[in-house]
Chains A and B, each alone.
Chain A
Amino acid sequence: MNKKLLGYVALFGAIALLPAFGVYPVFVMKVLCYALFACAFNLLVGFTGLLSFGHAAFLGTAAYVTGHALKVWGLPTPVGILVGMAGAAGVGLLFGLLAIRRSGIYFSMITLALAQMLYFFFLQAPFTGGEDGLQSVPRGHFLGLDLASDLTLFYVVLAIFIAAFWLIYRIVHSPFGQVLTSIRENEARATSLGYDTGHFKLLAFVLSAALAGLAGSTKTLLLGFATLTDAIWTTSGLVILMTLVGGMGTLIGPMVGALVIIALENKIGDFGNWLGELTGIAWFNGLGESVSLVTGLIFIVCVLAFRRGLVGEAMALWEKRQRPS
């Protein structure tokens, strides 16, 4: 246990030092936001076995609510973040109440449909700015710290991430988390043991929505805008991909997945140019424009050959070595 704790301390310590080594803090923050989003999503899919295809709804809701609270209502930044989280949790409660009435594949379709409904609402609602989005949201102050500097914001975002990660860790390792795992493994048996599985699933759904909301609020704070991209269905697909690449049901997996996918999105244009130069095929130069093509291919490869994800595969390999046959 202490070894594990040391590992986490070392990991977060290393992240905290990244800007000192010349890594662009905004990039790290963006990865952290998506990592938190993926961790929140993983709480549901990895530890409860519910595949939500509508998690962009919570990211988007919190992004808009926080943006509106900071820009129009002029609320202090921490309050704005909390209001955004509360908004996402509220939407999560409504969606959850409807979606847990069906299980399996229907659950995924329902969450996707509900998220699409919310997307159309955001598209038409006056406070979201429609296609333009909500622009120039002020960062303000956080407990006396001026967030205008990227570096200050970086440490605040990192602190938020660590707090949320710790919360997820506690949830997963609590008796509540054990019940969630038992629902994932065998819902009928969990019911027969006397657990009200609907209640547990709903609570897990709301928690996941609230944490995804925290990611959305933080992202608005970081980038200064909230747009329809946060709420569109491809973003729901993106968070699934991150979790799948990193490893569903592992704590670190979603972080790794978020890093890989964000880095890929940033670098794919360069990679395409490099391939184009290498092979002389002009089509590769446009690779930066076809991110969805590449993410789709990764999806297919992951599902067919790589279902445990990077961290899951690494852990399986490690266990194999620990147990000499």
Chain B
Amino acid sequence: MVADSGTPGDSRSARRLNEPRRALVVTRGVGGAAAPVNVNRLGVERVREEWRVVDRWWTEAPVRRRYFDVVLESGQHTVVYLDEETGGWFTQRA
């Protein structure tokens, strides 16, 4: 997967803040829910926290995400999530 900064919107329209961006994530073991070991080509030192968000299940665009707050080998904290609807990984400030 390649990082995607998103599509530019209308030049004068409101846009969402903190949109998720695609991330290149490698996980340990088999299965999407396994913890990430590499995020955007940087190794993961530690997984600090893990949580799930299930929302809007009553709509046509349900949200099922598994978030990981990780510390990378560079010392940077980042939050990635697995979109369980599409199977893609994204980074986002939680």
Same complex for A and B? Answer: no
